[in-house]
Amino acid sequence: MDYLARANICLKGAGRLGFGEDLESLEAKLEVAQIQKGILDVLENRLRNLSGTTTPAFDHTLSNELKKVQDGITRLNAQLFSNSEVSRF
**pTM of the model as a whole:** 0.66
**What pLDDT digit, counting tens, does each position of 19-75 carry?**
556 777 878 888 888 899 999 999 999 988 888 766 655 677 778 888 999 999 999
Cα–Cα distances in Å, from 57 out to 16, 53, 54, 62, 63?
64, 11, 8, 10, 11
Nearest to 39 by CA among 72, 5, 80, 1: 72
Measure the CA–CA gap between 69 and 73, rounded to whole angstroms: 6
Distance CA 39, CA 42 (A): 5
Instruction: Decide: 81 and 35 in contact? Cβ < 8 Å.
Output: no
pLDDT at 42: 94
Number of domains in the chain: 1
The pLDDT confidence band at residue 5, using thresholds 50, 70 and 90, is: confident
Q: What is the pLDDT of residue 44?
A: 93
9: containing domain: 2-86
